[in-house]
């Protein structure tokens, strides 16, 4: 196929779009790949659509290779199945909802667990039919609060979602692994630098879950990894490495002190280490890590009542709201208000301690570092008083632990192999072992081998097709423009006519025709523009191999430029076809 720039529906832009902040967004707009229609809603112009379709092709090939079968469900979905699974409500404002002319409720599908479960229920009824994995490549909708960075986080986007149905946990594990491997192959073919992190499963329910994050400083997901062991996890999923318990023996009794003017952890530590404090007595210098701060929230499971919850974490750490949210899900939480303090007078603001909580039957969860035998300075449940030497397991017994404290660079990896390092990434894929949440919800039962009904267990797997276009642009661009991996480039070759002589033009046309006959796709820059403009556009558009028919053509040479390395070399025009074929086909 030959695509002539003189005819292609394309205008490259010299200036960055005003609303663009990240490089991929700027370049995809400047290079005429996408255009904004509304916040998070984009058009795909010819070259952009080609890259999108190539990514879809790669994804399909890898899905087909693991035996997944493609189907296509509607994007316009009736409310009922999502009511049954409770997600009609759970999705909150993130769901586009609408009514049809008869007033019936519909939604635009963000993900399709419900309908795939129902689809399998509709077709299959025997253990002999399993396992089965179905997938679709589909336009999906999420009413993001903050659509961002062009197609990177859109409200209308293309996603490949697949769903495995197995009769055993071992089967599910195998389906999960097959998808995990397929996603690795997809990302490798697209040249995406990624890391697989343990993830919490959020509103999806289920157990084992990993995210594929494309490494990028502009990513919205923070993850940590341990260089020594390769451990990597979404921050929400990091399990704190708990220290060993400490014997109670010999630990002094807890004592309550007047601690005036200690409204902050810092001032409390200053008091402890000060002249009127307890530092000398304890023969140590206290730090914020020796204090235990107690945060009060109210939580509510869907459909339930609000309940008070106390959370104790070492004073040197902040609560990480995302981790707290993930730890509590599906319950939601809010901080308590003045009214709550009034209604619960045993909560002394600024001086809340474990004792009052436990005495009043308030659930109390602590950071995993608060192991038995650790000694804490904490609130004494009286205005202006703190207790020193309050020992966990001896003086108070929490109801459990909670992963609510922030994770910090240098924290020990959960596998004990070394320190954690934080980085940022863009979620491009997600694999879940869902289990039976949806087959339970819809009563998906099939006849088992023993004649009794058996309920399939599901896996759910998603990869962001349109997002991957942005991710490739983000990871692989340089300051001159886009750079596409050969696998998904909008053309195999970008052939620039940079010589006005008729002979050169004819030579370029002949070469383009030869390349076309050899099955390559060629972008042919046959415009009446200066070589400089054409070179700039070839760099901006990002086809990995640029061939220039320029000044050297008079001496019988054409130039091959590698868009990734920037290297160029002259080759005889007569060998250009062979050289290009060798370069493209590796």
The residues of the shown chain that bind a second copy, judged by CB under 8 A, are 7-11, 32, 35, 37-38, 41-46, 49, 52, 67, 69-78, 93-94, 96-98, 100-101, 106, 108, 115, 119, 122-124, 132, 134, 139, 141, 143, 145, 155-156
- Nearer to a second copy by Cβ, of 93 and 244: the residue is 93
To a second copy, the closest distance from the beta carbon of 139 in angstroms equals 6
Neighbour-count burial of 404, counting CB atoms closer than 10 A to its CB (0-12 exposed, 13-18 middle, 19+ buried): buried
**Alpha-carbon distance values, 125 to 119, 166, 200 (Å):** 11, 13, 32
Helix (H) or strand (E) holding 322: helix 321-328
Contact 529, 496 (CB under 8 A): no
To a second copy, the closest distance from the beta carbon of 520 in angstroms equals 17
Contact 563, 539 (CB under 8 A): yes
- Nearer to a second copy by Cβ, of 78 and 373: the residue is 78
Cβ neighbours of 384 (radius 10 Å): 14
- Nearer to a second copy by Cβ, of 87 and 293: the residue is 87
Query: CA Rg, the chain, in Å?
Result: 30
How far, in whole angstroms, is CA 461 from its chain's centroid?
13
The DSSP symbol for 238 reads P
To a second copy, the closest distance from the beta carbon of 315 in angstroms equals 38
d(CA 423, CA 410): 12
- Nearer to a second copy by Cβ, of 45 and 504: the residue is 45
To a second copy, the closest distance from the beta carbon of 47 in angstroms equals 10
To a second copy, the closest distance from the beta carbon of 379 in angstroms equals 40
Nearest to 3 by CA among 521, 560, 549, 539: 521
- Nearer to a second copy by Cβ, of 158 and 549: the residue is 158
* Sheet (strand 568-572) strand order: 2-4, 522-525, 493-497, 545-549, 557-562, 568-572
d(CA 35, CA 17): 10
d(CA 575, CA 557): 9
- Nearer to a second copy by Cβ, of 57 and 255: the residue is 57
The two structure tokens encoding residue 301: 């499971």
- Nearer to a second copy by Cβ, of 8 and 218: the residue is 8
d(CA 362, CA 120): 45
To a second copy, the closest distance from the beta carbon of 356 in angstroms equals 40
- Nearer to a second copy by Cβ, of 87 and 561: the residue is 87
Contact 563, 543 (CB under 8 A): yes
To a second copy, the closest distance from the beta carbon of 1 in angstroms equals 9
- Nearer to a second copy by Cβ, of 12 and 222: the residue is 12
- Nearer to a second copy by Cβ, of 97 and 225: the residue is 97
Q: Is 190 helix (H, G, I), strand (E, B) or coil?
A: coil
To a second copy, the closest distance from the beta carbon of 476 in angstroms equals 23
Q: Is 283 helix (H, G, I), strand (E, B) or coil?
A: coil
- Nearer to a second copy by Cβ, of 8 and 289: the residue is 8
Nearest to 292 by CA among 271, 315, 267: 315
To a second copy, the closest distance from the beta carbon of 529 in angstroms equals 12
To a second copy, the closest distance from the beta carbon of 97 in angstroms equals 7
To a second copy, the closest distance from the beta carbon of 256 in angstroms equals 50
Contact 311, 365 (CB under 8 A): yes
d(CA 390, CA 375): 5
- Nearer to a second copy by Cβ, of 382 and 445: the residue is 445
To a second copy, the closest distance from the beta carbon of 407 in angstroms equals 30
Residues in the chain: 586
- Nearer to a second copy by Cβ, of 454 and 529: the residue is 529
To a second copy, the closest distance from the beta carbon of 284 in angstroms equals 53
Contact 20, 150 (CB under 8 A): yes
Q: What is the 3-state secondary structure (H, E, C) of 382-446?
A: ECCEEEEEEEECCCECCCEECCCECCCCCCECCCCCCEEEEEEEEEEEEEEEEECHHHHHCCCCE
């Amino acid at each position: 196929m030959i695509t002539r720039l003189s005819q292609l529906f394309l205008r490259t832009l010299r200036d960055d779009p005003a609303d663009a902040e990240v490089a991929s967004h700027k370049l995809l707009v400047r290079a005429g790949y996408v255009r904004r229609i509304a916040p998070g809603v984009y058009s795909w112009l010819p070259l952009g659509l080609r890259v999108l379709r190539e990514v879809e092709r790669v994804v399909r090939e890898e899905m087909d290779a693991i035996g997944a079968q493609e189907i296509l469900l509607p994007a316009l979905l009736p409310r009922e199945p999502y009511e049954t699974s409770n997600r009609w409500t759970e999705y909150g404002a993130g769901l586009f909802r609408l009514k049809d002319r008869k007033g019936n409720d519909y939604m635009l599908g963000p993900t399709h667990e419900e309908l795939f479960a129902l689809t399998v229920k509709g077709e299959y009824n025997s253990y002999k039919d399993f396992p089965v994995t179905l997938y679709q490549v589909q336009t999906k909708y999420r009413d993001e609060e903050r659509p961002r960075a062009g197609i990177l986080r859109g409200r209308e986007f293309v996603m490949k979602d697949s769903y495995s149905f197995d009769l055993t946990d071992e089967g599910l594990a195998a389906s999960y692994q097959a998808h995990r491997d397929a996603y690795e192959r997809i990302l490798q073919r697209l040249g995406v630098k990624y890391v697989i992190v343990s993830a919490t499963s959020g509103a999806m329910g289920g157990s084992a879950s990993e995210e594929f994050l494309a490494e990028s400083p502009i990513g919205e997901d923070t993850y940590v990894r341990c260089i020594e062991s390769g451990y990597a996890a979404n921050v929400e999923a990091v399990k704190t490495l708990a220290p060993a318990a400490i014997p109670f023996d010999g630990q002094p009794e807890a004592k309550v002190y007047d601690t005036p003017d200690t409204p902050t952890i810092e001032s409390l530590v200053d008091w402890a280490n000060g002249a009127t404090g307890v530092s000398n007595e304890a023969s140590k210098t206290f730090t914020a890590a020796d204090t235990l701060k107690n945060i009060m929230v109210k939580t509510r499971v869907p459909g339930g009542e609000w309940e008070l919850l106390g959370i104790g974490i070492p004073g040197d750490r902040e609560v990480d709201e995302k981790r707290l949210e993930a730890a509590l899900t599906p319950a939601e939480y809010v901080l308590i208000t003045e009214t709550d303090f009034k209604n619960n007078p045993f909560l002394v603001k600024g001086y809340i301690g474990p004792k009052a909580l436990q005495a009043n039957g308030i659930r109390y969860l602590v950071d995993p570092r608060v192991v038995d035998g650790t000694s804490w300075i904490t609130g004494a449940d009286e205005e202006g008083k703190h207790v020193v030497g309050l020992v966990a397991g001896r003086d108070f017994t929490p109801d459990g632990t909670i992963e609510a404290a922030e994770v910090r660079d240098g924290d020990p990896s959960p596998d004990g192999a070394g320190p954690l390092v934080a980085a940022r990434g863009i979620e491009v894929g997600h694999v879940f072992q869902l289990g039976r949440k949806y087959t339970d919800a819809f009563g998906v039962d099939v006849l088992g081998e023993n004649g009794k009904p058996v309920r399939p267990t599901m896996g759910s797997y998603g990869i962001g097709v349109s997002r991957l276009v942005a991710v490739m642009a983000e990871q692989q661009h340089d300051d001159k423009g886009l750079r596409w991996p050969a696998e998904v480039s909008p053309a195999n070759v970008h052939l620039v006519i940079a010589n006005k002589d008729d002979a050169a033009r004819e030579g370029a046309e002949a070469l383009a025709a030869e390349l076309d006959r050899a099955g390559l796709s060629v972008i042919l820059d046959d415009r009446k523009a200066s070589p400089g403009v054409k070179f700039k556009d070839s760099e901006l558009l990002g086809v990995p191999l640029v061939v220039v028919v320029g000044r050297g053509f008079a001496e019988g040479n054409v130039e091959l430029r590698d868009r990734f390395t920037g290297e160029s070399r002259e080759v005889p025009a007569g060998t250009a076809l062979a050289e290009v074929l060798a370069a493209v086909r590796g």
